[in-house]
Amino acid sequence: MNKSLQPQPEQEEKKENLDLGFIKISKSSLPVIEKIVLIVILALAVYFFLPKISSLEETVHIFTSMKGWALILAIGAQVLRAYGNGLTIQECVKITKQDFSIMRAILIFMASYSFGLVGGGMFGSAATTYRWIRVSGSNAEGASLAASIPAFFLSFVLSAVSVLGLVFLFLSNNLSTLQIISYVLISLFLAAVGILLIVAMRHQEKSIEISITVLRAVFKFLKKSFDEEKVSKELRNMFYAWNFLVQEGWKGPMIGSLVSTLGDVLTIFFLFLACGSPQSLLVVTTGYGLPNLFGRMAFMIPGGVGIIESTMVALYTSLGVENSVATVITLTYRLLSFWAPALSGFFLLPYFNRLSSKSHEELPN
């Protein structure tokens, strides 16, 4: 296998810094950064979401009257989602003929996602995933695939679910003119991205050449130095990873992403049962797909806070769900799918940071 798939980390790491390649954060300031980010996220949630609550009294009443057995099923569905996320990472590592613990994969996914909220977003999550999988015993190829591939598979499945929801919304005439224009533009954007990826995979050298030309112009405009050799190497590593994935098997990671999405959809389905307002899986899926896709597209907002909540309430309300019920469903869903995993991931960060301090000479090739 190509050992140059992923650039090797520096041989020594300064103890006072958490060095993740292109991100360096002082370890002493990490707890402070975590608290600040959580406060910002909470402030965004309050700012964007509170205006959507029509009746606080009615919302509290629905909360207190939720069926316990259905809530337990919703929590179980989130466990299924976590298993799917871990399975996606595990299957990526297994492509390189290595064994990897599903529990370790789940914990790494949670911790890396929480780190992404603190710094670097998707790129920070990928960097920490790579580092922590490496120090957990995987070689460079397996860690690189596990760091870069899951986000693409999850986005692909989410896009497919969103398109299904768009078709249903069009057929049910539950869209305003502005919504139709917005969603059509989003659909065209997704189609363009998909076509662009296919073309890029078929003409890799030309794609690398064009990408470098564009990035060089961007860096020149920003008046920053541009390391063409490093960027070219990273792009070739990325294409190599994708080629390796296609040749060795993509079914495992795809199944993991499907399981993760199914767990999320079932969570909302069971929450509707808990509120005494059962809905079909088609309605549940329609209200789930687009908001979460918008949240992933809003890179500047941690976890899509405010975007997901407001869009989900609006969609379910347009599909005939009472505003107070839609509010409770959304609040509880985000508590289970975002807040609880994110906070849990923060508690895992110290463990994985200590694990990362191992000598890189002990890592397998």
Considering 2-6, 120-124, 225-229, the range whose residues carry the highest mean pLDDT is: 225-229
Backbone angles phi, psi at 17, to 5 degrees: -120, 145
pLDDT of 112 reads 86
Residues 147-170, mean pLDDT to the nearest whole number: 82
Burial class (CB in 10 A: 0-12, 13-18, 19+), 222: exposed
Stated pTM of the model = 0.74
What's at 61, amino acid-wise? H
**What is the percent of the chain with per-residue pLDDT over 90, rounded to a whole number?**
17
6 located within any domain? no
In a domain, 47, yes or no: yes
Q: What is the pLDDT of residue 71?
A: 93
pLDDT surpasses 80 at 184 = no
Model confidence at 119, pLDDT cuts 50, 70, 90, reads low
Highest mean pLDDT, choosing among 108-117, 187-196, 255-264: 255-264
Mean pLDDT within 293-320? 76
Burial category of 172 from C-beta neighbours within 10 Å (exposed 0-12, middle 13-18, buried 19 and up): middle
Is the pLDDT at 187 greater than 90? The verdict is: no
pLDDT, average across residues 283-290:
90
> What rounded mean pLDDT belongs to the chain?
76
* Separation CA 351–CA 132 (nearest Å): 10
Give me the number of domains the chain comprises: 1
pLDDT of 227 above 80: no
* Average pLDDT of the residues in 312-336: 88
* Residue listed under structure tokens 């495992």: 252
Contact 285, 164 (CB under 8 A): yes
109: pLDDT confidence band, cut at 50, 70 and 90? very high
Q: Which pLDDT score, from 0 to 100, does residue 269 have?
A: 96
DSSP for 26-59 reads EGGGHHHHHHHHHHHHHHHHHHHHGGG-S-HHHH
Domain that includes residue 39, residue range = 17-201+231-360
Say if residue 48's pLDDT is above 60.
Answer: no
Q: What is the predicted pLDDT for the residue at 270?
A: 96
pLDDT, tens digit, 9 for 90 and up, residues 9-24:
444 444 455 544 444 5
Averaged over 169-188, what is the pLDDT? 70
Instruction: For residue 56, tell me if it sits in a domain.
Output: yes
Percentage of the chain with pLDDT > 70?
A: 69
For the segment 72-86, the average pLDDT, to the nearest whole number, is 95
Residue predicted with more confidence, 54 or 312? 312
The count of other CB atoms within 10 Å of the CB of residue 287 is 30
Q: Look at 358 and 64; give whichever has higher pLDDT.
A: 64
What pLDDT, on a 0 to 100 scale, did the predictor assign at position 303? 64
pLDDT at 258 over 80: yes
DSSP 8-state class, residue 17: E
The pLDDT value recorded for residue 272 is 95
12 belongs to a structural domain: no
Dist. CA 298–CA 296, nearest whole Å: 5
Per-residue pLDDT band for 284 (boundaries 50, 70, 90) equals very high
Is 125 domain-assigned?
yes
State the CB neighbour count (10 A cutoff) for residue 106: 20
pLDDT score at 55: 52
What is the per-residue pLDDT for 291? 86
Q: What is the pLDDT of residue 5?
A: 46
